Homo-oligomer: A and B are copies of this chain.
Amino acid sequence: MDIKVLEQLLAEVRDGNLTVAGALDRLRTLPFENLGFARVDHHRQLRQGFPEVIFAAGKSVAQIRGILTALQPRTTNILVTRLAPEKAEVLLPEFPQARYHPDSQVLTIIQGEIMDQGRGVIVVMSAGTSDIPVAEEALLTAQIMGHRVEALYDVGVAGLHRLLAHHELLSQATCLIVVAGMDGALPSVVGGLVDRPVIAVPTSVGYGASFGGVAALLTMLNSCATGVAVVNIDNGFGAGCLAALINRKD
């Protein structure tokens, strides 16, 4: 809650335009409405500079439809993540402005112009082909938040020449998102090549002792390069948000 709102409220009390009881009430009346199963907070966009985001995993089609319907009138841009294709198939005809990205299981609704919010370009890298869905989730997230993004996929450390061939692009980024499963070694190498923040995203790609991404996660937490931060396994959305916050104009 903004300090100015509080200031004005106190001023109204001072000027007799608002009773004490009314002030207490207003202090309690916070800006969200109740859909029954989730409180949609329309002010969140203002507070955090984000589009509305719906995490669709574990939500029914009916629940997602309900939230989309409540949100849409306010011309917000909307990002739905982890939306299974069979749910998308039902929802797409109902929301003509929606676009579905099957690789990353992301649905976007762009209803307002996306203003450029960024200081520079964000580079999103993936170590292998199988890491691309997570990388795309990061890329789409940063884009809908108003940032320029370049993708550089399948540049894992076992074929170092592929990575080094793009050294110039790396050095131009304001911030890099590096997505890797299996040994998760790519962020360490990238972190040693650039002097920019590297957001490392472990993926659940792998088998056996990869433990669903734990091996890559630990590699990244123990990176011997400086400037590497880690988000949760497969959390492309989180990486995209964080990159947007880092790259945003002040």
- A residues adjacent to B (C-beta < 8 A): 1, 3, 6-7, 10-11, 13-14, 16, 19-20, 23-24, 27-28, 30, 32, 37-39, 41, 44, 47-50, 53, 57-59, 63, 119-120, 127-130, 132, 153-162, 165, 167-168, 174-175, 182-185, 188-189, 191-193, 195-197, 199, 202, 204-235, 237-238, 241-242, 245-246, 250
Q: Are A58 and B208 in contact (CB under 8 A)?
A: no
Q: Are A209 and B222 in contact (CB under 8 A)?
A: yes
Supposing A183-B223, A217-B209, A221-B231 touch, asked if A157 and B188 sit within 8 A by C-beta, the answer is yes
Q: Are A162 and B30 in contact (CB under 8 A)?
A: yes
* Docked complex Cα distance between A233 and B223 (Å): 12
Q: Are A197 and B246 in contact (CB under 8 A)?
A: yes
Supposing A39-B162, A161-B30, A207-B233 touch, asked if A182 and B222 sit within 8 A by C-beta, the answer is yes
* Docked complex Cα distance between A250 and B43 (Å): 31
Q: Residue A20 contacts which of B14, B47, B223 (CB distance < 8 angstroms)? A: B14
Minimum CB distance partner of A193 in chain B: B160
